[in-house]
Structure 1
């Protein structure tokens, strides 16, 4: 981690459920255009506990590495960054997803969290490639991955069901030999 960074990432803990719930509730409307339709149970303490348990189990199985994004000053949980769908063998790839509390957008926090997650992917996790799928109209998210060194690889038509409809996504990727 850059010692001048205003944020750091850390492995989630079961005790993060209340803070994660607050974060999700506070950003529910803001994130709706970018998220799949979620059941009402997702926005409950039990729902967030289940999410964290799945994330921690995924970590143990080398299938997912989810991190809390926290402010250095005060330690407040302000977002999430995750390396999911880890595939080993010939691919050595993970998908990247992230979000930052709307109150903290536009400050470079997402870019820094992504950089730290990619450093983990290529270091401790030993991956070769990380990819992100972003809707073409989501310019702020595209800017995050571009600043983090990702390259545009192409368009995946009707790639994910987001906010109730199939959305095209641009695929961005970075490999361990292309990061400074």
Structure 2
């Protein structure tokens, strides 16, 4: 379990989400709905409510307890300004996870995403013992691709019609970062 809070630029904390964050998270996704829509699925309306976010957080926190997901939030003065999630965590000989993240529109260009991704990679390698992290972006999300490259990810290929994003099956670039080459704990 990850228990620490990490300091990011501009007085932003990176910490594990809790159920108490549902209202602030709902407010953040409502405020950033248009900004995030080109990069995300078309969510049902309840996704943008405190109840919808509470249900999503409950599910994520169960998975967190099981060691399958780590849901971080970027928070400044109780306002959610972004999120980073490691999901699909697999142990054994694979020791890998998927990375997803977003930053509020009014926080772009401040280095928050890069700082958060760097911290998550450090924790994933040292505390979680993961060997590798994978991330994908839609082809035209150059800003996110730059974040990944700055954080040591390398492009390893593309996947046609990979995810249903903004109403269509979208091609994605696939990135990975190998964190270490230590043998897995079996």
Q: TM-score range by the shorter chain?
A: over 0.9
Q: State whether structure 2 residue 74 is matched by structure 1 residue 66.
A: no
Q: State whether structure 2 residue 81 is matched by structure 1 residue 78.
A: yes
Structure 2: which 5+ runs fail to align?
182-186
* 1:43 match: 48
Distance 1:70 1:147 in 2: 22
Distance 2:106 2:67 in 1: 32
5 Å matches for 1:144-155?
A: 144-155=147-158
* 1:26 match: 31
* Residue correspondences, number: 176
DSSP-derived class of the 2:94 partner: coil
Distance 1:163 1:77 in 2: 23
Structure 1: which 5+ runs fail to align?
none
DSSP-derived class of the 1:18 partner: helix
1:169 counterpart (168, 172, 182): 172
Offset of residue 125 of structure 1 = 1.3
Does structure 2 conserve the Cα–Cα contact (< 8 Å) formed by 1:8 and 1:113? no
Distance 1:85 1:117 in 2: 15
Does structure 2 conserve the Cα–Cα contact (< 8 Å) formed by 1:67 and 1:80? yes
Does structure 2 conserve the Cα–Cα contact (< 8 Å) formed by 1:9 and 1:117? no
User: 1:98-122, CA deviations, whole angstroms, 9 ceiling, x for partnerless residues?
Assistant: 0011010111101111111111111
DSSP-derived class of the 1:122 partner: helix
Distance 1:2 1:35 in 2: 26
Distance 1:17 1:76 in 2: 11
Q: 1:85 to 1:145 in 2, by over 3 A?
A: same
Does structure 1 conserve the Cα–Cα contact (< 8 Å) formed by 2:23 and 2:49? no
1:115 counterpart (103, 118, 140): 118
Q: Cα RMSD between the aligned structures?
A: 1.7
* 2:184 match: none
TM-score, normalization by structure 2: 0.89
5 Å matches for 1:116-155?
A: 116-155=119-158
